[in-house]
Structure 1
Amino acid sequence: MELRLDGVSVAVAGRALVRELRLDVPSGRIVGLIGPNGSGKSTALRCVYRALRPTAGAVLLDGADVTAIPLRESARLVAALTQESHSELDFTVEEVVALGRTPHLAHGRALGREERELCRWAMARVGVAHLAGRSVLTLSGGERQRVLIARALVQQPRVLVLDEPTNHLDVRHQVELAALLRASGLTVLVALHDLNLAAATCDRLGVLSGGSLVAAGSPADVLTPELIRRVFGVEATVVTHPRTGATQLLYDLTDETGRTGGEDRTRGVQSTGTAGTAKTAKAANTVHTSDAIAKGAPT
């Protein structure tokens, strides 16, 4: 299913949060939204999963305006994982995951055998099957996040919308999520802060700044030193991963005074690490993360 944001604008209390956003997410592809805090990423995603109605423009699913689709039907088509997805209700993990079937259960119908098996599969897929009987109130932030990902999978959507899905996840589970998305075959629109993870996971990137789309294209086309400097206000060196070919960024830790992260700014003591060592370590870390994504993702 193709997703298109067709000139989407959002204004709240007279303030423009998103300005004429035009972005295509082809069927079965992963498109990442990147940009600094407050650039409009979450607002744009809310329009897709119908938590917010655009002031102008439209969100289209295979050419149909999503607002013209009955809510239950659109909930079958689009699943969302939001930054606000948390519950203080004392549900078990299995009960929360089963909520993903709600759009498919008409007239209070209970889950069938195949649907319960689907829930068990989803919990196993994200590594929370052993928590099935636990209250979600007892889980860590990362465990809760994986439970919510399982709930989205159980919904069996055709479009998946994810707002910072790697929040609270350790590096292993970030890598596993990236591999899951790449193997899913779903149309995915995801907002990410980790630019290296976005480059390794997404087919295309859209860059938001001040509510406007300032660049769109492949990670290699979009993630240039000039754009990183202009949009994010940091210096970066662009490298190519030696094994996967993915675009990756090495950040310059030098501050405005010319001092590097290797200097103790409070005592004036030079640490054992130099700027070059810091960059080397960063590069090694980048390689390990991208390697793991490549190994975890099916070809």
Structure 2
Amino acid sequence: MDLRLDGLTVTIDGADLVRDLSLDVADGAVVGLIGPNGSGKSTALRCVYRALRPTHGTVWIGGDDLAGLGRRDGARRVAALTQQGGSDLDFTVEEVVALGRAPHKHGNEPLTAREHELCRRAMERLDLLHLAGRGVLSLSGGERQRVLVARALVQEPRVLVLDEPTNHLDVRHQIELLAMLRGADLTVLVVLHDLNLAAAVCDRLGVLSGGRLVAAGPPADVLTEALVRDVFGVAATVVPHPLSGAPQLLYTVTDTTPEGTPR
């Protein structure tokens, strides 16, 4: 199911956090949003999972205006992993994962055998089966992050949006999670801060700066030394990965003053 952001503008307290953002995510594609802190990435995602209503513009999903869909229908199409997705309630891992079925259930309707198996497979996929009976408040940050990804998969969405999903994950689980996104047969819009991981996993990248889309396209076209310097304010050499050919950034670390000028 394709996703299209069409002229999104989000204005809060007189400030345009996102300005006239248009971006297409093709059915089954993985598209990454990258940019410095405060560039509007998370704000754009919030419009897709309906935590924010855009001031102007439309989110189209499968040709339908997302704002016109009922909450249950919208939740069956879009699942989200947010930066504030935790809970203060000490549910077990398997209970949290099962909450992903809520858009498909009515009241306290019990899970079917198929749904129990769906939850088991999601926990297995995210290396969580051995933690199924543990309370989530006893888990590490990375383990909780994997629980929330499993919950999103159990929702069986057509579109998955993730805001910095590799936060708190060790290298192994970062790679496994991103590989899972590639093979999940879902339309994925993901915010990533690690540009090398973004280049490795995403079909296309959208670069935001000051709330505006300043570049979009395949990683090899977008991640140039000039763009990284102009948007992120750092010096980097771009080289192809020796196996995949994906662009990889080698950063130059310099000693600078608070104003950003070399000493």
Could you give the per-residue CA deviations for residues 78-129 of structure 1, whole angstroms, max 9, x where no partner exists?
A: 0000000000101000000000000000243111111011101000000011
Equivalent runs, 1:40-79 vs 2, <5 Å = 40-79=40-79
Cα distance in 1 between the residues matched to 2:254 and 2:43: 33
Cα distance in 1 between the residues matched to 2:99 and 2:14: 36
Could you give the per-residue CA deviations for residues 205-224 of structure 1, whole angstroms, max 9, x where no partner exists?
A: 00000000000000000000
TM-score for both structures, normalised by structure 1: 0.85
Q: Identify the residue that residue 135 of structure 2 maps to in structure 1.
A: 135
Q: Identify the residue that residue 214 of structure 1 maps to in structure 2.
A: 214
How much has 1:162 moved relative to structure 2?
0.2
Cα distance in 2 between the residues matched to 1:169 and 1:102: 26
Gaps of 5+ in 2: 258-262
Cα distance in 2 between the residues matched to 1:254 and 1:17: 31
Equivalent runs, 1:93-242 vs 2, <5 Å = 93-242=93-242
How much has 1:62 moved relative to structure 2?
1.6
Cα distance in 1 between the residues matched to 2:67 and 2:44: 15
Q: Identify the residue that residue 18 of structure 1 maps to in structure 2.
A: 18
Cα distance in 2 between the residues matched to 1:114 and 1:3: 28
How much has 1:31 moved relative to structure 2?
0.2
Q: Identify the residue that residue 8 of structure 1 maps to in structure 2.
A: 8
Name the structure with the higher helix share.
1
SS of equivalent residue, structure 1 residue 86 = coil
Cα distance in 1 between the residues matched to 2:191 and 2:80: 12
Runs of 4+ more than 2 Å apart: 254-257
- Which is higher, the Rg of structure 1 or of structure 2? 1
TM-score for both structures, normalised by structure 2: 0.97
Could you give the per-residue CA deviations for residues 177-221 of structure 1, whole angstroms, max 9, x where no partner exists?
A: 111000111000000000000000000000000000000000000
Say which structure, 1 or 2, has more relative contact order (CA 8 Å, 6+ apart): 2
SS of equivalent residue, structure 1 residue 114 = helix
Cα distance in 2 between the residues matched to 1:144 and 1:231: 32
Cα distance in 2 between the residues matched to 1:62 and 1:94: 31
Cα distance in 1 between the residues matched to 2:174 and 2:36: 20
Write the letter of the residue equivalent to 1:29.
A
Cα distance in 1 between the residues matched to 2:37 and 2:254: 22
How much has 1:21 moved relative to structure 2?
0.3
Could you give the per-residue CA deviations for residues 234-254 of structure 1, whole angstroms, max 9, x where no partner exists?
A: 000000011111111000112
Gaps of 5+ in 1: 258-264, 266-299
How much has 1:63 moved relative to structure 2?
1.8
Write the letter of the residue equivalent to 1:33.
L
Alpha-carbon RMSD: 1.1
Cα distance in 1 between the residues matched to 2:191 and 2:85: 15
Cα distance in 2 between the residues matched to 1:165 and 1:46: 15
How much has 1:256 moved relative to structure 2?
3.9
SS of equivalent residue, structure 2 residue 169 = coil
SS of equivalent residue, structure 2 residue 157 = coil
SS of equivalent residue, structure 1 residue 162 = strand
Write the letter of the residue equivalent to 1:206.
G
Q: Identify the residue that residue 260 of structure 2 maps to in structure 1.
A: none
SS of equivalent residue, structure 1 residue 106 = coil
Cα distance in 2 between the residues matched to 1:77 and 1:227: 34
Cα distance in 1 between the residues matched to 2:134 and 2:107: 28
Cα distance in 2 between the residues matched to 1:65 and 1:73: 12
The aligned length equals: 258
How much has 1:233 moved relative to structure 2?
0.3
Q: Identify the residue that residue 91 of structure 2 maps to in structure 1.
A: 91
Cα distance in 2 between the residues matched to 1:170 and 1:35: 22
SS of equivalent residue, structure 2 residue 165 = coil
